Amino acid sequence: MTEAARQENEIASRVQASILPGEIDVEGLAIAAQMLPAEVVGGDYYDIIPVEDACWLAIGDVAGHGLAAGVIMLMIQSAVQSLVRLSPQASPRDLVCALNGALYENIRKRMRRDEHVTFCLARYTPDGGLVFAGAHENILICRENGTCDNIPPKGTWLGAMEDVREVTQETKIQLGPGDLMLMFSDGVIEADDGRGGRFGLDRLRELLVANRERSPQEVRNAILAALLRWTERPDDDVTLLIIRCHGVYWST
C-alpha cells in the first residue's frame, strides 16, 4: 500500500469511528456498545437513534472488510438515519425493505459489486415493546430471572436482491425491567483461537448470563476481555450492542 493510500485509509477509519454513536441517554434504557475493526476500515455498523416515544437500534455487517466495505457501511449509516428521522413511527420491516432498495441500486447496479449486508433494525418503545426485522445474528435476551432467550431473525441479507418484501418479517418481543439484551456481529462468535476453535454462541450466552447483574458497560468489557483472551487479534470486525431495560412505562 502506498503512503497516500495508507493516509486515505486512516482518514476513512477516523470518519467511520467518529460517525458511530457515543454514550447515548435513552429514557428507560442503559446502553453500551463497541465496534473493533479488524482492518483499518471495518464493515461492521451499529447505531442508536432516539426519537420521540421510541428508540431505534441498528446493527449490520457488510460481507468482507476494507475500504469498499467501509464505504457501504457509511451508506447504510446515512440511509438509516434519514429513514428513521423521516418516519420515526414506521415499521422496522418497511424501513429494512427501503434500505435494501437503496443498497441494491448502489451496490449491484451502480458500483457493480457483489457485497451483501447482514442487518437488523429494531424499534423499542417505552412500554417495553421491541419490534425488529432483517437478517443478522440472533438476539440474546437475558431475563431478570436468569433465563436467556435466543431469538433468530427472519429475513434475508440486504443488497443482493432487488425486493426483499416477501421474505422480510417482523418479530415482536416484550422486554421487562431488568432484562438485558445483546446484539452482536459474527466477528464475536466466529473468533478463532488459532487452532480452529470458535468463540461460539454458547460461550457468549454463558458470559451474558454470568454477568447479567452488571452494568451494560461492565458486560461489554467482560465479553471483550474474554474474546481477546480467546484470540489476540480478531480477523473480523467485532461489534457488541448491550441494552438494559430499566423501566417500562405503559402508555395511557
Q: Contact with another protein (CB under 8 A): which of 93, 116, 212, 220?
A: 116
User: x/- contact string, 159-178, with another protein (CB under 8 A)?
Assistant: -xx--x--x-----------
For residue 219, what is the enclosing H or E element? helix 216-230
Which grid cell sits at 50?
432516539
- When the beta carbons of 118 and 171 are compared against another protein, the nearer one is 118
d(CA 214, CA 109): 47
- Cell digits of residue 170: 417482523
Touching another protein, residues 9-68 (CB under 8 A): 61, 63-64
Q: Is 198 in the site for another protein (CB under 8 A)?
A: yes
Long-range contacts from 16-23, C-beta under 8 angstroms, 24+ separation: 16/41, 16/42, 16/70, 16/73, 16/74, 19/74, 19/77, 20/45, 20/46, 20/47, 21/46, 21/47, 21/48, 21/49
The reply on whether position 114 binds another protein by CB under 8 A is yes
Of these, 186, 215, 217, 248, which contacts another protein (CB under 8 A)?
A: 186
Is 111 a binder of another protein (CB under 8 A)? no
Closest approach of Cβ 86 to another protein, in Å? 26
The footprint of another protein on residues 216-235 (CB under 8 A) is 235
**Residue 149 within binding range of another protein, rule CB under 8 A:** no
Nearer to another protein, 37 or 128 (CB): 37
Single out the residue of 58, 87, 89, 90 nearest to residue 75, CA to CA. 58
Q: Which stretch binds another protein (CB under 8 A): 45-53, 80-88, 187-195, 211-219?
A: 187-195
CB of 61 or CB of 179, closer to another protein: 61
DSSP character string of 115-171: --EEEEEEEE-TTSEEEEEEE-SPEEEE-TTS-EEEE---S--BSSSS--GGG--EE
- Tell me which of 236, 240, 241, 244 binds another protein, using CB under 8 A: 236
Phi and psi, residue 208, nearest 5°: -65, -45
State yes or no: residue 196 binds another protein (CB under 8 A): yes
Q: Shortest approach of another protein to residue 156 CB, angstroms?
A: 4
Is position 190 an interface residue for another protein (rule: CB under 8 A)? yes
Closest by CA position to 26, among listed 181, 140, 147: 181
Asked if residues 227 and 188 have their Cβ atoms less than 8 Å apart, the reply is yes
Binding residues for another protein (CB under 8 A):
61, 63-64, 114-116, 118, 135, 137-138, 152, 155-157, 160-161, 164, 167, 186, 189-190, 192, 196, 198, 201, 235-236
